[in-house]
Amino acid sequence: MIQSADESVSERSGETVLGVRNLHKRFESKGGPPVEALRDVSLDVRCGEVVGLVGPDGAGKTTLLRIATGLLVPDSGTATVLGLDSVRDTLQIRGRIAYMPQKFGLYEDLTVQENLDLYADLQGVEPAARAPRYTRLLEMTGLEKFTGRLAGRLSGGMKQKLGLACALIKSPELLLLDEPTVGVDPVSRRELWRIVYQMVDQEGIGVLVATAYLDEAEKCHRVVVLHEGRKLDEGTPASFREQVHGHTFVVQPPPGVRPRTIQGRLAGRPGIIDATIRGGRVRVVTEERDIAAVTGAMPDNLAAAIDVAGPTFEDAFMKLLAHARSSQSHANLPAAQVSTGVSPHPREPEATIHRGESADGVVHTRDLTKRFGTFTAVSEISFDVHRGEIFGLLGPNGAGKSTTFRMLCGLSKVSAGEVRVAGRDLRRAGSFARQRLGYMAQQFSLYGQLSVFENLRFFGRAYGLANTRLAERIEWALDEFDLRGHRDMASGRLPGGYKQRLAMAAAILHEPDILFLDEPTSGVDPLARRDFWRRINSFAEGGVTVVVTTHFMEEAEYCDRMLIMSQGRELATGTPDEIRELARTEDHPDPTIEDAFIALAEGAARPRGKEGSP
Amino acid sequence: MALALLRIATLVVKEFLAIMKDPKSRVVVIGPPIIQFFVFGYAATFDLNNVRYAVRDEDRSVESRELLSRFRGSPTFRLVGELSSDREVGDLIDRQGVRLVLHIPQTFSRDLHAGRPAQVQVIVDGRNSNVAAVALGYASGIIAQYNAERGGTLAAGAPNAARPTLQLVDRAWFNPNLQSRWFIVSALGGLIAMIVVLLLSSLSVSREREFGTFDQLLVAPFRSGEILLAKALPPMVCGLFDALLLAAAAVLWFGLPFRGSLPALVVALSVFIVSVVGVGLFISSLSSTMQQSLLGSFMFIMPSVILSGFTTPIQNMPQWLQWGTLINPLRYIVTACREVFLQGGTLATIWPQLWPMAVIAAATLASATWLFRHRTA
Amino acid sequence: MNAFQRSIMRLRGFLRKEALQICRDPSSIALALVMPVVLLFLFGFGVSLDVKDVPIAIVLDDRGPEARDLAERFTLSNYFEPVLVDRFDEARQLLDRREVDAIVQVQSDFSDRLAHGAAVPVQIIVNGTDSNLAQLVKGYTLGVVGLWSQQRAARGLSTSSSAVTIQQRVWFNDAVNSTHFLVPGLVALVMTLIGVLLTALVIAREWERGTMEAILATPLRVGEIMVGKLLPYFVLGMMGLGLSVGLGRVMFGVPFRGSPGVYLLLSTLFLLASLGLGLFVSAAARVQFVAAQVSIIVGFLPAFFLSGLLFDLESTPWPIQAVSHLIPARYFVSASHTIFLAGDVWSVLQWDALFLGLMAVVLIALARSRLGQRLEG
């Protein structure tokens, strides 16, 4: 476990290692207004302190870190590093700080040891001092056994740890980390934070870390929230939590009712800032310090109990963001407040957990295996997905989710086992069988040069929509996804959240029966993610079968059932409750899906109810 | 069937939009034609003009001056100076001051009068072998002309008329002034069509792979044949358009004759383009990034241009290499284009070029289709 | 450890990294070592401007001994492979089908006229489509006929007794062998590929993969990055050079008349200029795709077309000549021709060296100014 932040503040703290004053930075963008990356931002990082830089995409986190390293020059304002000016004394600063950029700067065609040697040379580490340093870093990162392996062949988590080791090759006085844990599995994330805290405790360095994971912000001594280049707020995690004290509640669904149903009911309601599913219950953040907004929205029979919940940093963050957005123009309003859940199909009245049970589901796999040469990417995966169900494929990067997914969609050949979608093998069934499918790829995968309208028209026609029907559906999509204002814009130039909506619109334009979504929320800020899940819910309610992959463990709560994978193998399958049950212990009575994953990955929990599991 | 046509039409529209809206592809359609037009029209020339030469006239007679005046009158040569010693000759050629020296020995007029062969020494700088050979050819031509005319006047002037002369009448068919621009520019349509078609088609699949749109396309209810057809059409149209545009520019701008039939040119270019599109789609199916596509196209373009007879004759190559050129589609279109432009080729006369291209087209398309299915489905 | 030692340590680390990357990346090796061989093969065998065994048709309308003697001359010549045909129509068809490149027609009154001492026309028709070949064929045909009449004159069977004869001397390249002319120039092309294309690609790759941001944030100085990038690719370029020169000497028997030291100096300057251009392109482009395109347009194409490698620069229009003065390859090609074929002619080489040196300095300085300590240019 990570030590709590408050305990580790050492006596030596107080000396300012990074002082940022009134930073302004704008970037010219081609054919558009200049982007204000930073607007009057000031902050301090002191010795022995970990400061978190938190904000959605485009908040200005990376720009701020780059200015601190002297890689960018601010338009106005100053960044003072160790008493030196970041513009004037760039070279002196660089010998005393360490910076790990988002792409972590590893040479993939060099081995682990060669990467370490390179950075030791570049940082001027004395030859005599190297051996002990290497030993220590390799031990901390658990890379001792892999020194001869090419960096490109390491797993995502190991790459990140190696990147960190390279940054720490010479004890820096200030460590700057840019989203060090993106796409890293929960186990590796914990280890990374453990390494950072070890350095802080033992060497008293100052750390500024940009992150999009809100739970990581809780691990920092102080947090600075950025939004669209402005500093919204600053303080300790506790002070943030204090802001939403009394605003947070949990709703316990009665037996037989899915938490999703309640969450769908609450999200987007006036007076309610946020509604998420956590641990099988619905967490609500309200505008006012009052339970009335929640009770008002809930008919009595839907909630077994409504309790006051302990606030988290995430609650405070959502509240800050909601305020920041509502004070801006209408164009930037979160979609959650703009459109109400209109589903393409008439809503089915009752939502119960188990329905449409049949021997074979809509999606059916048995012992699905994929081998690339001698490497087995997916090994004997079996599951069924039923009609109207949201089924999640969970696991860290490199677990084999995407490979499994590609086999389901017929994009990749099956090495062994069987896979059927709507009763057919998509690879052999011919193009007609794909007619009833919707597919949304991991990255934005529409034609960037084509306008929003042209993309929709192309995909509509591709699936056989024509004439008035096509026109109707495009109109519907433009309204439903709030894309009308961007109808003729090249889709590659849309802001991130809109791209994602357009991709979704294109996938469901032809009203598919089965929707395949590959990492739909990766790289999307927390607000857009909530909005996205709200839509998925509404489609599922309408009878659409959804198969979705994600590496965000908390998103598993939105699924009816899920399969957790690691290293190509199935760790566990079940409903969120069943999965959490696996990690429930005396010390930990109320585990999250993430806790369950870590327990499963470390072998602490044994999946139950599975015959012949390895 | 109607549905399939609709799907293909949809795909084709999308491909066209993608080319027209992608700056990189736009550059490919517009850049090479312009660059090639100017480079091949102006820089790629084997013609000689302004060949700097010097004269070392040791004779200084009426005859020697008469001979030299013919050089002075030639547009090919430009007199730089008169030299007075052999050392100067060596010096001037060494430092590339001149490329050719005419050396007339003291005995020149004496020999002529005595009826002995009179020698003129022509020294050329062989560093550029082609310039040397062509310049020598020009010089021989001027001297032969001189001989002929001198013989003629002598024969006319001499009453006994016992001294017949050999009169050389030389004519060049199809390209009377032997301009290498006609040679190069007439075949340019084929080259441009190849480059544009190859680049566009080789980028078409890998662009989708790189941008991640390819999976989206494969999941949609298209057949792989439909996708391939839609990927092939726009590059073909662009390539044919560029080629015909350049053909028009060749006639209007560079004043080339167009002696053959237009249908013959269009048919030949179309068959050729089909064979190239097969190569392009093959490269594209094979490569996963646009970079690889570009390099792949480059690797194909280089040898096929060199081994096509576009700049230098195929018959000069060793026999084994000449056989190798038989599978090069550019070889046939280069010949066909020249035939249509300069020799008045028609569909019937270019048939020997057409059928090999058709065979190559069938082969490349079949292998592209096979690879595409193999790599995707 | 003082500042200098630290700088050496950084440089050492960086150089070792580059060396490892080159060794592990098959495409660098391919470009540096395989490409020269492929180019040399293609050009050595595929491109030849020489005239050898040109098929010609000889129409003997007169079957007398003199006419047959003349035809015999063509058979003996290395340049021609004559076919005797009976009627002019036949020859014409052969020319149309491009089975022969020229027709030599001896008219029916040939012997008569010779006997009577009248002017005797011999008609030569060349296919002008390939103008360069036609030009050379014309020249050589003139030569054969001229030689025949000279020898008749010598034997007293005078045609025109007082003919001017040409004694031709081709310096530096006696055999007028185009391979000897092409190979030295090719070295420039190989080095441009390594110096500009490969260098631009590897640096753009560092930007793309984000490693540049990471190393910029270390104490590594820009000067050290420059040296660290220049040195390994300099070595690679020199290896390409050695390979090309060695192969050219061994396989194609290209002479090398200058001194290796001078050649080394000139090629060092040229390679530095190319590397500077490559560094500049990649620092400005930062994306591999763009870097590749730009380096082909500003590096490869000019090195091919505007350097005098294949096409004679002096015969091009003046704007193209003017542009060619900005192309480093132009100077190196000129210097290579001189060193390989003529020797150390300082009056030529000093200017080439001066301009190459200037360009190297300017380009490296430009690259240095673009490659700053920061992300923004």
CA of B259, closest CA in chain A: separation in Å?
Answer: 43
**Residue A57: pLDDT band by 50, 70, 90 thresholds?**
confident
> pLDDT (tens digit, 9 = 90+) per residue, A358-412?
445 688 888 889 888 788 888 888 988 988 889 998 887 677 888 888 888 888 8
- Torsion angle (degrees, nearest 10) of CA B240, B244, B247, B253: -130
Assign A340 a pLDDT band (cuts: 50, 70, 90). Answer: very low
Is the Cβ pair B223, A447 closer than 8 Å?
no
Task: Give the chain B residue whose CA is nearest to the CA of C118.
Answer: B164
DSSP three-state, residue C366? helix
Give the separation between CA C104 and CA C137, rounded to whole angstroms. Answer: 11
Q: C200: closest CA among B287, B291, B27, B283?
A: B291
The secondary structure of C261-305 as a DSSP string is HHHHHHHHHHHHHHHHHHHHHHHHH-SHHHHHHHHIIIIIHHHHH
Chain C: closest CA distance from residue B32 (Å)? 10
Give the CA angle between residues C340, C341, C342 to the nearest 5°: 110
Own/partner contacts of A364-368, CB < 8 Å, gap of 24 or more, are A364/A418, A364/A419, A364/A420, A364/A421, A365/A408, A365/A417, A365/A418, A365/A419, A365/A420, A366/A417, A366/A418, A367/A416, A367/A417, A367/A418, A368/A404, A368/A407, A368/A414, A368/A416, A368/A417, A368/A418, A368/A419
Question: What are the distances in angstroms from CA A432 to CA A17, A365, A435, B230?
Answer: 63, 21, 5, 18
What is the reported pLDDT for C157? 55
Q: Per mean pLDDT, which range of A31-45, A87-101, A503-517 is the poorest?
A: A31-45
pLDDT greater at residue A290 or residue B364: B364
Distance of alpha carbon B214 from alpha carbon B216, whole angstroms: 5
Kindly state the greatest CA–CA separation across chain A.
77
Hey, what are A460's tokens?
A: 């509509």
Q: Hey, which residues does A394 pair with through a beta bridge? A: A550, A564
Q: pLDDT tens digits for A421-433?
A: 887 777 777 677 7
| Nearest of C283, C245, C282, C272 to residue C369 by alpha carbon | C283
Q: Which domains does chain C have, with CATH numbers?
A: 3-47+177-376 (no CATH), 54-154 (3.40.1710.10)
pLDDT of residue A352: 37
Name the residue in chain C with its Cα closest to that of B128.
Answer: C181
pLDDT of residue A331: 39
* Whole-number pLDDT of residue A599: 83
DSSP, collapsed to helix, strand or coil, labels residue A574 as: strand
Calculate mean pLDDT across residues A224-233.
89
Nearest in space to B29 (alpha carbons), one of B196, B194, B245? B196
Integer Cα distance of C292 and B357 in angstroms:
31
Residue range B196-207: average pLDDT? 86
B158 pLDDT higher than 60: no
Q: Give pLDDT, residue A565.
A: 85
Structure token pair of residue C304:
């091919």
Confidence of residue A546 (pLDDT cuts 50, 70, 90): very high
Measured between CA atoms, how close is A74 to chain C, in angstroms?
11
Contact between chains at C219 and A69 (C-beta distance less than 8 A): no
What pLDDT band is residue C151 in, cutting at 50, 70 and 90?
confident
State how far the alpha carbon of B176 is from the alpha carbons of A271, A350, B180, in Å: 90, 90, 11
- Residue identified by tokens 């409750």 is A577
Which positions in chain C touch A118 (Cβ < 8 Å)? 13-14, 16-17
Picking from A63, A71, A208 by the largest number of C CB atoms within 10 A of its own CB, the best residue to mutate is: A71
Task: Please name every residue paired with B79 in a beta bridge, in sequence order, or none if there are none.
Answer: B53
pLDDT digits 0-9 by tens, A122-181:
988 888 889 999 998 898 888 888 888 888 888 777 888 899 899 888 888 999 999 888
Taking residue A546's Cβ as centre, other Cβ atoms within 10 Å add up to 24
pLDDT digits (tens, 9 = 90+) for B93-137: 888 888 889 999 898 888 888 777 788 888 888 888 888 888 888
3-state secondary structure A467-482: HHHHHHHHHHHHHHCC
* 3-class SS shares of chain C: helix, strand, coil, % to 5: 70, 10, 25
The full 3-state SS of A417-445, as one line of letters, equals: EEEEECCECCCCCCHHHHHHEEEECCCCC
Burial of B93 (0-12, 13-18, 19+ CB in 10 A): buried
Q: What is the token pair recorded at C77?
A: 């010549």
- Closest residue in B to C52 (Cα) is B316
Over range A545-574, report the average pLDDT. 86
Residue C97's pLDDT is: 77
Side chain identity at residue C375, one-letter code:
L
- Measured distance CA(B341)–CA(A237) in Å, rounded: 80
User: In chain A, what are the helix, strand and coil shares in percent, each to the nearest 5?
Assistant: 35, 25, 40
pLDDT in tens, A2-44: 444 444 444 445 688 899 999 999 888 665 677 788 999 999 9
Residues C64-105 pLDDT 10s? 888 888 888 888 888 888 888 888 888 888 887 778 888 888
Contact B21 A490 (CB under 8 A): yes
For residues B220 and C151, which has the higher predicted lDDT (pLDDT)? B220
pLDDT, position A347 = 36
Q: Which chains touch B (3 or more CB pairs under 8 A)?
A: A, C
Listed range (A321-325, B157-161, C71-75, C293-297) with the worst mean pLDDT: B157-161
Residues of B in contact with A410 (CB under 8 A): 218-219
Residue A586, exposed/middle/buried by CB under 10 A (0-12, 13-18, 19+)?
Answer: exposed
β-bridge mates for residue A420, sequence order: A364
- Does C65 touch chain A if contact means CB atoms closer than 8 Å? no
Name the residue ranges covered by the structural domains of chain B: 51-173, 180-376
Give B51-173's CATH code, choosing from 3.40.1710.10, 1.10.1040.10, 3.30.110.30, 3.20.20.70: 3.40.1710.10
Strand pairing partners for A549? A393, A518
Task: Round the average pLDDT of chain B to a whole number and report it.
Answer: 84
* Confidence band of A111 (pLDDT split at 50, 70, 90): very high
Question: CB–CB of A482/A497 below 8 Å?
Answer: no
The ipTM assigned to this model is 0.78
Q: Do A447 and B220 touch (CB under 8 A)?
A: no
Q: Give the confidence band of B329 by pLDDT, cuts at 50, 70, 90.
A: very high
DSSP string for A381-398: EEEEE-TT-EEEEE--TT
Residues A439-485 pLDDT 10s: 888 777 788 888 899 999 999 988 888 888 999 999 999 988 888 88
Give B220's contacts in chain A (Cβ within 8 Å). 434, 439, 459, 462-463
Tell me the one-letter amino acid at A308: V
pLDDT-derived band at C17, boundaries 50, 70, 90: very high
Q: What per-residue confidence (pLDDT) applies to B1?
A: 65
Distance from CA of A509 to the nearest CA of B (A): 12
Q: Does residue C353 have a pLDDT over 90? A: yes
Contact across the interface for B6 and A430, Cβ inside 8 Å = no
**Is A348:A388 a contact under the CB 8 Å cutoff?**
yes
What is the per-residue pLDDT for A222?
93
Compare all CA atoms of chain A with the CA of C208 and give the residue at the minimum distance.
Answer: A103
Neighbours of A485 (CB within 10 A): 12
- Chain C stretch 187-216, residues whose beta carbon is closer than 8 A to a beta carbon of chain A: 209-211, 213-216
> What letter would DSSP give residue A150?
B
Q: What is the pLDDT of residue B163?
A: 46
- pLDDT tens digits, C273-326: 999 999 998 888 777 777 877 888 888 888 888 888 888 887 788 888 888 899
Measured from the Cβ of residue C281, the count of other Cβ atoms closer than 10 Å reads 29
Stated length of chain B:
377
Both tokens of residue C358?
Answer: 């200037």
Angstrom distance (rounded) from CA A278 to CA A592? 7
- Spatial distance between the Cα atoms of A491 and A30, rounded to a whole number of angstroms: 15
Tokens 């984000």 sit at which residue? C210
Taken as a whole, chain A contains a residue count of 614
Q: Give tens-digit pLDDT for B297-324.
A: 888 888 898 888 888 888 778 888 889 8
Chosen from B3, B6, B14 to mutate, greatest number of chain A CBs within 10 A: B14
CB contact under 8 A, A445 and B219: no
| Residue-level pLDDT at A475 | 92
**pLDDT of B38 strictly over 90:** no
Q: Say what the pLDDT of residue A189 is.
A: 82
Tokens at A274, concatenated: 């946020």
Shortest Cα–Cα distance, C272 to chain B (Å): 24
Supply the pLDDT for residue C155. Answer: 66
Angstroms from A110 CA to nearest CA on chain C = 7
Q: Which residues in chain A touch residue C21, judged by CB atoms under 8 angstroms apart?
A: 107, 109-110
Q: In what order do the strands lie in the sheet with A230-235?
A: A97-100, A174-178, A206-211, A50-54, A222-227, A230-235
CB atoms within 10 A of CB B319: 8
